[in-house]
Amino acid sequence: MNCQRPGCDGTIEDVGGGELFCDTCGLAPLGAGTAVGRGGGGGGGSSQPSRATGTGPGSAASSRSSRTSGSSRSSRRSVSGRLSRSLSGGTSTASVSVRSSRSGSSGPTRGKLGAGLVNVPPIPRPDPAAAVLQDPQVPERKRFCSRGECGAPVGRGRGDHPGRTEGFCTKCGHPYSFTPKLRAGDVVHGQYEVVGCLAHGGLGWIYLAVDRAVSDRWVVLKGLLDTGDEDALAAAVSERRFLAEIEHPNIVRIYNFVEHLDPRGGTLDGYIVMEYVGGKSLKEIANERRGPDGRREPLPVDQAIAYAIEALDALGHLHSRNLLYCDFKVDNAIQTEDRLELIDMGAVRRTDDQDSPIYGTVGYQAPEVPEVGPSVASDLYTVARTLAVLTFDFQGYTNVFVDSLPDPDGIEVLSRYESFYRLLVRATDPDPGRRFASAEEMSEQLLGVLREVVALGSGKPRPALSTLFGPELRVVDTQLMAPAQDASTLGDRAANSGRRGAVPLPPAARPAGPVLPPSSPAVPGPGGYGAVVPASPFTVPAQRTAPAIPANPAAGRAVSTLDVRAAALSLPVPHVDPADPNAGFLAGLAAAAPSELVAALQAAPVQSPELRLRRVRARLDSDDAPSAVEELRRLQEEHPDDWRVVWHRGLTALVTRDDGTAALSFDAVYDAFPGEPAPKLALGVCAEVLGQLDNAAEYYRLVWTTDQSYVSAAFGLARVLLAAGDRAGSVAALESVPESSIHYTAARVAAVRARLRGRAPQEPLLDDLRAAARQVEDLQRLGLDTRLREQLSTEVLGSALDWVLAGQQGAAGVPSAQSATPGLLGRDLDERGLRFGLEHSYRVLARLADQGRTRIELVERANRLRPRTWV
């Protein structure tokens, strides 16, 4: 990008941390709003007050903080959903405003960076003395007036003459100085011996010192107020003493507030004395990641999320004490060993403070702060913006995208991790009321996204209990396909037997060859398998011709149709809001039958949203959809944005087959809770019934890869993959159901059928036949029901018989009759052995049949499939 300043033909460069400057004139781009930092120990970050000191929330915002992008004033919710785009042309009208009743956490909740999911490389504690700058100077391009409402460039050179390090702002007359006030050896407050400068911030230099009164510990001295007014300084010291009461492992410890008379300037300066935190700032960690071409590479998304979770833990602690951090960014957090710490407490303010200047950084600060002031929502906004800066090359985040996000289709990490993008969208929503309600809530959803990211990367599930939804109620459609009626098409000799109900075989399927007299000796069996069959009046082929069969029947033809109503009512149920007046009453009705529940709900002590939602659910369960729809309509009029109401809107729409409305409703809940599996599972069902098999597969895979307690996701994934023709993927999904699951047997049975159902006999089936047979044998050892075992045996042996009769006897890898290697299910892999196996299975099924007609039909099938013998 070229510099737009008059008379300058330079190029705008990113010098790190999103700070943009011209390589010729050294100035920030027009409209970029560069801010010079107050920084923390080891950081050189840039911050500026968002409005003039002493102004109220209604005062005019500074020009650098009030810019907006063209799309920032309208909610961006639901723009990321694949179903939303296909159904509504790009946006969803079913947007959810979530206001959690939970407050921020009051203390640390995790003890290790990464929450046990991510191995973040530790940063060793360096020698503090090594961090001291040998020649402390502030580059001219970073020299700005420190007066909040001014911020004009100062100390700039002209031509060959360097800029002054001390002087007065030519715009407002405020004094400036970029020369360190303290030197090595100076003793502040008779206790803190200065070692040197660490960095420069918005209120002057930051110094490393040794506390001679307390075990010679390392401390940091940071300017408190850039003024020579003694009364103002005393007031500032008194006002900031509350910071010393903050104790949290992720927040730098404030030790003291001291005053020091500058002997050179004659001014009384105030300093915050804080813990020295050795390590690297997030900005330094990010800038050290360079590709072969020297360009900065983004942090891995899981590592960045791990940092954000730690930061949210710290912010939640501040919020619980009615404090706001206001200026979280890559400069203000340091990783030391395996812990992240917030190091700059200069912008912290009370939530009810209406007078103090507000500090923030362009590109991180929420757009409403200059007008209405900071809030919990604006703090969470800064965390999301920091995540974006760390995880992709976020060019223009201080100007073009100062309060918006770029198109995810052009950002690899955003297009790969949809849940991560949705979290960023919600946390940076232009409407503060639509952002996360607390640091705890955002951290919880971010942790869910992290589990998903780690599971996708490692292939290992990362399950966790949801605080919003219960488990799935049941798993429906576990069969995927019904048992086969005819195990073998080519092996059934109904046409030759003349039995009742026989269907003649096509001519191509009839054996051809010489007719042997009854007295002829036994001859080798067909295809060189070595099976010896006696001579008979029936023809025995010397060489078989494959019958005319479709080359490759569509795999999806055999897939059972999804029971949409049952699938909808099996989805996880939202937990009852504990703040609802009927929460206790509803907990006692958890096990009631639907018919009893409708009557029991009439005895509720008071009416409440949760009671009415339970009534909607009870009517859906009792198949009274019209009453449920009417009840929900009235509830929506009163609580249109409540996420539980929107969830039940989707549920009701799915039951009544308003599939488009269902998809948009569940998509809105996904927007609100991107770390929850339940809305993704619901969207998978919606995509499947809408015929969007690719989207359905993605949602099912996302849920199943992350949490294998949602077994319906595995069956759903297998179902849509099989319908789309991906037989191998379908089998893999079914075989991934763990043995510990109660649905393990159903999954293995479905896998056997998915391997073989609808396959043409000419296909190379040997590997699948052997795999299916092994699965049947494994299930038998686990105590598989005899009837189901024999049904599966007929399907495997029948497919094998068709494969043999279709001319595959000579295929490579097929054992001969002389081989000691067993065939399938204890039967030789030739026509005779397979027919004996089919006959045995059908006779066992006949003995187990409940009805006489079924028994007769099974015995006839056994007779039609048995091999030719003399008896």
Write phi, then psi, for 637 (nearest 5 degrees): -65, -30
Q: Give the model's pLDDT for residue 159.
A: 86
pLDDT at 40 over 60: no
pLDDT at 99 over 90: no
Query: Where are any strands of DSSP class E within 114-191?
Result: 166-168, 175-177, 187-188
For residues 750-760, average pLDDT: 91
- Catalytic choice (226, 327, 379, 768): 327
Identify which has the larger pLDDT, 527 or 487. Answer: 487
Q: Give the model's pLDDT for residue 177.
A: 86
| Cross-strand partners of 197 | 207
Structure-token pair, residue 702: 């996302």
Identify which has the larger pLDDT, 249 or 355. Answer: 249
Q: Give the model's pLDDT for residue 84.
A: 65
Q: Which band of pLDDT confidence, cut at 50, 70 and 90, is reported for residue 481?
A: confident
Beta pairing, strands 166-168 & 175-177: antiparallel
DSSP state of 12: E
d(CA 267, CA 514): 120
Name the packing angle between helices 711-723 and 727-735 (round to 10°).
170
For residues 730-754, average pLDDT: 94
CA distances from 479 to 722, 745, 845 (A): 13, 11, 19
Q: Give the model's pLDDT for residue 451.
A: 97
For residues 240-264, average pLDDT: 87
Write phi, then psi, for 748 (nearest 5 degrees): -70, -40
Q: Give the model's pLDDT for residue 228.
A: 53
Instruction: List the domains of the chain with CATH numbers.
Output: 1-28 (no CATH), 31-126+281-458 (1.10.510.10), 180-277 (3.30.200.20), 516-544 (no CATH)
- Mean pLDDT, the chain, rounded, equals 81
For residues 190-219, average pLDDT: 92
- Please enumerate in sequence order all residues whose Cβ is within 8 A of that of 292, keeping only pairs 6 or more positions apart, or say none: none
pLDDT at 627 over 50: yes
Determine which of 248-252, 550-554, 779-783, 807-811 has the lowest per-residue pLDDT on average: 550-554
Contact criterion met (CB below 8 Å) for 671 and 96: yes
Q: Which band of pLDDT confidence, cut at 50, 70 and 90, is reported for residue 225?
A: low
Tens of pLDDT, residues 370-387? 999 999 999 999 999 999
Contact criterion met (CB below 8 Å) for 249 and 108: yes
Contact criterion met (CB below 8 Å) for 48 and 361: yes
160 is catalytic: no
Tens of pLDDT, residues 53-93? 333 333 333 333 333 343 444 444 444 466 666 675 544 44
Q: Please report where in the chains the tokens 């050290």 appear, as a residue.
A: 288
For residues 473-477, average pLDDT: 89
Q: Which band of pLDDT confidence, cut at 50, 70 and 90, is reported for residue 489?
A: confident
Contact criterion met (CB below 8 Å) for 542 and 830: no
Q: Give the model's pLDDT for residue 487.
A: 81
d(CA 685, CA 677): 13
Q: Which band of pLDDT confidence, cut at 50, 70 and 90, is reported for residue 678?
A: very high
For residues 244-254, average pLDDT: 91
Tens of pLDDT, residues 401-418? 999 999 999 999 999 999
CB neighbourhood size of 49 (10 A): 23
Q: Which band of pLDDT confidence, cut at 50, 70 and 90, is reported for residue 443?
A: very high
pLDDT at 113 over 80: yes
Tens of pLDDT, residues 415-438? 999 999 999 999 999 999 999 999
Identify which has the larger pLDDT, 740 or 102. Answer: 740
Q: Give the model's pLDDT for residue 91.
A: 45
Q: Please report where in the chains the tokens 């300037």 appear, as a residue.
A: 265
Tens of pLDDT, residues 811-860? 444 444 444 445 889 999 899 999 999 999 999 999 999 999 999 999 99
pLDDT at 534 over 70: no
